[in-house]
Amino acid sequence: MFSIRGGTKFNNNDWLRGCVLPIGAAIGFGLSASTAVAGESRGFVVDWFHVATAYVESNCPDGLNPLSDEFYKRELRRLGYANQEVEDLMKDFPNGGYIPVTTMRGRVNGEPVNVYANPWTQPDPNLTPVTGNRGFGFNLDGKMGSEDFIDPISGEQGVDNQMYRAMGCIQNFAFHAPDLPIYPYAQWDLTRDTAPAWLIEIRDIDDFQNDDDISIVMDKSVDAIRRDTNGDALADMTLRVDPNSRSRTVVQGRIENGVVVSEAFDAKLEADPMLLPLFEFSNARLRLSLKEDGTAEGILGGYQPWEALYWSYAQGAWIVEHSAGIDIPGVYYALKKHADADPDPKTGENKAISTAWWVDAQPAIIVYPEEAQTADATSNP
Amino acid sequence: MREAFDNNVKITPRLRKLRCFSALSVVIGAVFAAGCTPTEMAASSGAVEEVSGAGGPPVMRRLTESQYEQVVQDIFGPTVELGGRFEPDPREGGLLAVGAGKVSVTTSGLQQYDIMARSVAAQVTGEGRRDTLVGCAPVNLESRDEACARQFLKKVGRLLYRRPLTDAELDARVENANVATDKFGNFYEGLEMGLAGMLVAPQFIFRQETSEPDPQSPGSLRLDAFSKASRLSFFLWNSAPDDQLLAAAANGELHDSRGIARQVERMVASPRLKIGVRAFFSDLLEFDKFDELSKDAEIFPKFNFIAAEDAKEQTLRTAVDHLVTHNGDYRDLFTTRKTYLTRLLGALYRVPVVTPDGWEPYEFSEDSQQAGILTHASFVALHSHPGRTSPTLRGKALREILLCQKVPDPPGNVDFNIVQDASNPDFKTVRQRLDAHAGEPMCVGCHKITDPIGLALESFDTIGGFRTTENGTPINTSGELDGVAFADASELGQAVHDHPGVSSCLVNRVFSYGVGRTPTKSEKDWLDTFVENVFAKDGYKFPQLLRRIAMSDTFFRISPTEADAEAPAMASAQNFKSESEQ
Amino acid sequence: MSAIMRAANRRTVLRGIMSGAALSVGLPYLDIFLNSNGTALAATGAPLPTCFGSWFWGCGLTPGLWEPKTIGANYEMSPELKPLSAFKSQMNVYSGMKVFLDGKPPTPHQTGHQGALLGHVPKAGTRPDYPSLDVLVSNTIGTKTRFRSIEVTGGGSPNQSVSRRSGSALNPSEVSPVALYTRLFGPDFKDPNAAEFVPDPKVMVRKSVLSSVSDERAALMKELGSADRERLDEYFTSLRQLEHQLAVELEKPAPMEACTKPGAVEESAPGLEIDAVVKNLKLFSGLLAHALACNQTRVFNVSFADATSSVRRGGETATHHILTHEEALNEDMGYQPRAQWFNEVIMASLADQASALASVREGDGSLLDRTLVLASSETGFAKVHSLENIPMITIGSGGGRVKTGLHIQAKGDPVTRVGLTLQQVLDVPVSSWGTESMETSKTLSEAVA
């Protein structure tokens, strides 16, 4: 029940008739030339998706946040354990007796509670934030704020990316894209073989270098990527759009010097629950650089509910804390403090935070459900 | 046909000599009456002369890997695992089927046959399968039951040895089973050893053909009936004869042209023909080389081991679909845009494949260069280097595999630097590099034969992906094949389609494949007229070609061997008399 | 030259001929290896048995540091494998192979070794109902000894084992060298040279079956022309050689001259502190070498520690595992130096095992010559639990069954190709191995002697 958008429909015959040059079919030869068939489309599948980190030492002049063995000791001492008791509890780290204690390090009326479910029940450990001004993303609010960044690739100023400000000095986020920050890398890598792939299609391209009127369609597939021999998503593979997905987003945009830039949009992207069940973006932008080899890379940024982002770490509880060195209650406070949009009408506290995500994409052939039928494969020899 | 078995004629050298000069012409038109469609009748209404002198020698062939697998699967079921590996089948005269007639078994190879024999035998007599496969049960599980052992080994031995066992052979295997039963105190463990003995025996591993005097053509030799059955069966099904075919051999049907025709029609109509056709093209197109094929993963990350398997399968499906399912013209294999693809192949060719797992039919568009099996990854990738294409290898493969022409190997002291350096800014395309290289006088002769056709396929990279430029320079795909000019790969396909060599090569290869050796001079002459008079008139239909050859007298004609002169009983068929006949 | 090596060379010659063009070359009769009674091999007794070991560690190696830069023979030893330099010509390095998930979610630190050693990745929440490679090998070569296999770990917990008979039956590891000493060389120790020899009835029957096939030679020969006769003769020569090998098995084996009872070992504290792990494993290596030399077992499994590699340096809390995840990549070096340190220690411990085997001298060679050790890990990049490019190494040739001194790269291929190849050279009846995308029948033929 799928077709190539813009192509002749597949007939339910033995053979597909009038097969079209599909999206992506010309990838790899001639993309660099800015000639495009009028109204041409390009399909992509997201290969890597992770927090866009831009670590340079000047971003974290006070150093990076401590790893878990250190902050666990700090927390145990705060709870009143003597030095020797702390050493005993931590003796078999990462296994051992400290786990129930640090897990239940929250206090409500003096009683231990699970700190990951109730992060406000421990004092703010005051994670060291990013204080420098290098950060990926977009100027979402149109203002030049004192906390804003300069994007190291696009050069855009006034960039709003408070999530990076909150978390960028955590050791496992101290990487400069396109290097992959380790914990986000592992999160994505563990899910991408099984999770439905994310699709991006750039439509109505008349000129690959400069075109002031294109549209961008984001969708979720029913298929997962397959890996090539280098472990990347297999290029030019067919992926079917999920007809029941909430992920579809259509937005207008333009191409400037080979870089696709979207207008502002709101979007919902369904993802693997291990990562985050739903990425909700408001006032978002996409910037995607179309490369000569047919791949694309860029940034997706916007405002997201910060509590959902918190839960993406908190669900991993102590395992994430000890193996990724992420102080989970610390992240809670940091996100809350740096949230910069969507104030709660009652409390005035911001419910959303500006973010930026790195996107690597491979060329893909995208087929849509509503336009045709599947090929009949019953007559195979 | 009892006399065929009982015949014990000593062939004298003088008689042999005489026979060599006796030419036999047989009108075979009538033979086809049994199963011809009206069009086929029209084609065959012109009588075809078999310009047959003496045939070639009988051939002793080692079962190829795929035949061994097929035979075990056919006799014992598809879930029996072999549990061993095979020595490589050598290729000769363009075919593994011919190499199989030149090769023996090494010690390490026999060790593997022994491992597989015991593994298969253990599964067949094991608890899960014995009830269905053994067909009888011992009176007492712990002790020998000669009748049951004999019944099973006789039944299965006939299928494995492809003829009834001699009394001595059957006695020996039954004795193996009995001795083992005594030793292990278990009937089935004993039976296992009897069966293992058969599976490791040369009568199973080798297809040994035997000849006998031809009573219809005094002075000539023919294959004995069971050897005929094997020839037919491996030719059409890539497997051992089934029960019906063995019965036909036993009752003399296969020494009668109508009897042969009946069996051939039955076999050609069977779904197993597709297995046979796959096996032939797998052999012809050298797909065994896929086992050793590797591509530079850094440059071509799409080409993993699954894509390689799929590439091979794509062409086999295309061939079987076109030739058998649709009874198409063989030559159209070089122009057809219809094929079957998987998602991985879709990625390789950059075309949509909706089916997430498995195969779907696909037709490349009319204006695409993907036309015919020469443009499949199975051809352009198999005949390339790991990191770059090779018009020379592709051209050589086309000439040798599909036109049966021999391209000389390069001389020993050649400087390949210019050809291999794809980064040389002076020579951006392989055509430019080859031009520079072939400027050397010692190279130009051979490259003239291979390169112009190989260069047409330059629009396909090392793994079969389509391209129009190399290092940013447009690729020139024009050239000529034996005087026929073409502009690109699809026109090359048309030129191959129209090349007279392509059908005569096929006919020669099909014949060689069936008889296990290259044709003799007189067979070659016959095949040449056959191409023109029969194959062309039949519309180059492949099943019809198989049918014609399988029904021809030439297919079974045998020349005397040295052994015939020396051995007192050159026709050993009398030993194979089945008990049921007595 | 030992009898085993001679047999191996003979195989090589035949293989060379078969794969080359000289198909019509008449093969020399195998009689050159036999005396007039065909008993030259037997005169020295049956060749010493082939042994197999698996050696497992967690958290892999450092991508870019462990793979040799060149492929094939004469590869240059990579920095991380330097501790194994002494064995370069006796080992192979396998790179580029991966574990396929086929849509199943991975379990960090488990999926990798399940793929490599079971050939199978279980569905989430299910147990892998497949035996491990060592068990498959032991079913063929390990059934006649006192122990089918011996499992040990340096990490202190019996659960640290990757050897399993089935989904529910883990073969637990010995954690104490003293306990292993007692198990092997305590009161139940059987001196292999004192033991009464009982020929295997199965081998006797097999030999009689082959002999009866041999008896049909004359009947089959007379129907053939001379070229075919030569070929069939070659078959029967191979058959006689096979019969002969069985005949040798029916004779009392050569004395295990290298078998000595080791001196008692002292208790060594177990734990995950790396010095203790290495020390324990060194004791185990010696005991395992003695166990093989005395034919108490032919199969062994070593787990360096747990699959997560929770080992740590004395005085530090950050484990190898934690460091692989948490330590930043050193920008200049391009890797994590503190985590990488452990990899070198682990490779040195593997070298300890190889040295222990090599130090047992047997005739012209050593125990290592007739042993094949597969060292493997569960990830290609521990930082992210990558299932690509799983490090695998073999040391020893299994009595000339494997060609050595090679770096074999098979990028993107299933990791099961190594397991299939090792099973086949060790005579396990298997033509394909692994499940789903990891099912393979592609032997790494370049490694087969």
Cβ atoms of A45 and A233 closer than 8 Å? yes
Candidate from B83, B110, B179 with C-beta closest to C238: B110
Confidence of residue B532 (pLDDT cuts 50, 70, 90): confident
Candidate from C222, C237, C432 with C-beta closest to B567: C222
Chain A positions in Cβ-Cβ contact with residue C390 (cut-off 8 Å): none
Confidence of residue A247 (pLDDT cuts 50, 70, 90): confident
Residue B416 to residue A153: CA distance in whole angstroms: 44
Average pLDDT over residues A252-273: 95
Pinpoint the alpha helices (H) of C187-303.
201-214, 217-221, 226-249, 274-293
Q: Chain A residue with minimal CA distance to B275?
A: A381
Q: How far is B567 from chain C (nearest CA, A)?
A: 6
Q: How far is A249 from chain B (nearest CA, A)?
A: 23
Cβ atoms of A116 and A317 closer than 8 Å? yes
Residue B440 to residue A54: CA distance in whole angstroms: 56
Whether C303 has its CB under 8 Å from any CB of chain A: the answer is: no
Q: Chain A residue with minimal CA distance to B465?
A: A28
Cβ atoms of B117 and B81 closer than 8 Å? no
Residue A201 to residue A20: CA distance in whole angstroms: 17
H/E segment holding residue B372: none
Candidate from C213, C237, C412 with C-beta closest to B201: C213
Q: Which residues of A touch B (CB under 8 A)?
A: 2, 4, 10, 14-22, 24-25, 27-30, 223, 226, 228-230, 232, 234-238, 240, 365, 367, 374-377, 379-381
- Percent over 70 (pLDDT), chain B: 85
Residue B208 to residue B472: CA distance in whole angstroms: 58
Reference C307, options C326, C321, C324; nearest CA is C321
Q: What is the pLDDT of residue A32?
A: 39
Interface test with C, best of B70, B82, B107, B566 (most C CBs within 10 A): B107
Q: Is B106 in Cβ contact with C15 (below 8 Å)?
A: yes
Chain B positions in Cβ-Cβ contact with residue A4 (cut-off 8 Å): 352
Residue C58 to residue C391: CA distance in whole angstroms: 11
Chain A positions in Cβ-Cβ contact with residue C106 (cut-off 8 Å): 190, 193
Candidate from B338, B354, B361 with C-beta closest to A240: B354
Whether A325 has its CB under 8 Å from any CB of chain C: the answer is: yes
Residue B412 to residue B420: CA distance in whole angstroms: 16
Q: What is the pLDDT of residue B294?
A: 81
Q: What is the pLDDT of residue B8?
A: 36
Q: How far is B409 from chain C (nearest CA, A)?
A: 14
Which tokens go with B553? Answer: 């007298």
Q: Which residues pair with A217 in a beta bridge?
A: A201, A250
pLDDT in tens, C14-64: 222 233 222 222 233 333 333 333 333 333 456 789 999 999 999 999 999
Q: Give yes or no for residue A80 having a pLDDT over 50.
A: yes
Q: How far is A356 from chain B (nearest CA, A)?
A: 29
pLDDT in tens, C260-309: 999 888 888 888 899 999 999 999 999 999 999 999 999 999 999 999 99
Q: What is the pLDDT of residue C34?
A: 32
Interface test with A, best of B333, B351, B353 (most A CBs within 10 A): B351
What is the identity of the amino acid at A264?
Answer: A
Our CA dihedral for C319, C324, C326, C328, rounded to 10 degrees, sits at 130
Is there a cis peptide before residue B215, judged by omega within 30 degrees of 0?
Answer: no
Confidence of residue C383 (pLDDT cuts 50, 70, 90): confident
Confidence of residue B329 (pLDDT cuts 50, 70, 90): very high
Interface test with B, best of A3, A5, A14, A19 (most B CBs within 10 A): A19
Q: Is C209 in Cβ contact with B196 (below 8 Å)?
A: yes
Reference C402, options C376, C442, C372; nearest CA is C372
Whether A57 has its CB under 8 Å from any CB of chain C: the answer is: no
Our CA dihedral for B60, B65, B67, B72, rounded to 10 degrees, sits at 120
Q: Give yes or no for residue B224 having a pLDDT over 60.
A: yes
Q: Are strands A237-240 and A350-368 parallel, antiparallel or unpaired?
A: parallel
Q: Can you state the angle between helices B107-125 and C3-19, rounded to 10 degrees?
A: 90
Lowest average pLDDT, out of A186-195, B337-346, B451-460, goes to A186-195
Cβ atoms of C440 and C386 closer than 8 Å? no
pLDDT in tens, B4-48: 333 333 333 333 333 322 322 222 233 233 332 323 333 343 345
Which tokens go with A121? Answer: 């029940």
Structure-model confidence comparison of residues C314 and B446, the more confident one: C314
**How many residues in chain B?**
582
Residue A73 to residue A93: CA distance in whole angstroms: 11
A-B contacts at Cβ under 8 angstroms? 110
pLDDT in tens, B356-381: 989 999 999 998 999 999 999 999 99
Q: What is the pLDDT of residue B49?
A: 57
Candidate from C103, C104, C322 with C-beta closest to A94: C322
| ipTM of model | 0.85
Q: Is C266 helix (H, G, I), strand (E, B) or coil?
A: coil
A-C contacts at Cβ under 8 angstroms? 74
Please, what sign has the CA dihedral across residues C224, C228, C229, C235? negative
Q: How far is A28 from chain C (nearest CA, A)?
A: 22
pLDDT in tens, B89-120: 999 999 999 999 999 998 889 999 999 999 99
pLDDT in tens, A193-244: 889 999 999 999 999 999 999 999 999 999 999 999 888 899 999 999 998 8
Q: What is the pLDDT of residue C167?
A: 65
Q: Is C18 in Cβ contact with B90 (below 8 Å)?
A: yes
Q: What is the pLDDT of residue A8?
A: 30
Chain B positions in Cβ-Cβ contact with residue A14 (cut-off 8 Å): 361
pLDDT in tens, B437-463: 766 776 777 778 788 888 899 999 999
Chain A positions in Cβ-Cβ contact with residue C317 (cut-off 8 Å): 69, 90, 93
Confidence of residue B413 (pLDDT cuts 50, 70, 90): low
- Percent over 70 (pLDDT), chain C: 89
Residue B244 to residue B267: CA distance in whole angstroms: 10
Q: Give yes or no for residue C246 having a pLDDT over 70.
A: yes
Structure-model confidence comparison of residues B568 and A283, the more confident one: A283
Chain B positions in Cβ-Cβ contact with residue C432 (cut-off 8 Å): 81
Residue with tokens 């076109």: B322
Q: What is the pLDDT of residue A311?
A: 94
Candidate from A18, A375, A381 with C-beta closest to B355: A375
Average pLDDT over residues A94-108: 90
pLDDT in tens, B258-289: 999 999 999 999 999 999 999 999 999 999 99
B292 exposed, middle or buried (CB, 10 Å; 0-12, 13-18, 19+)?
exposed
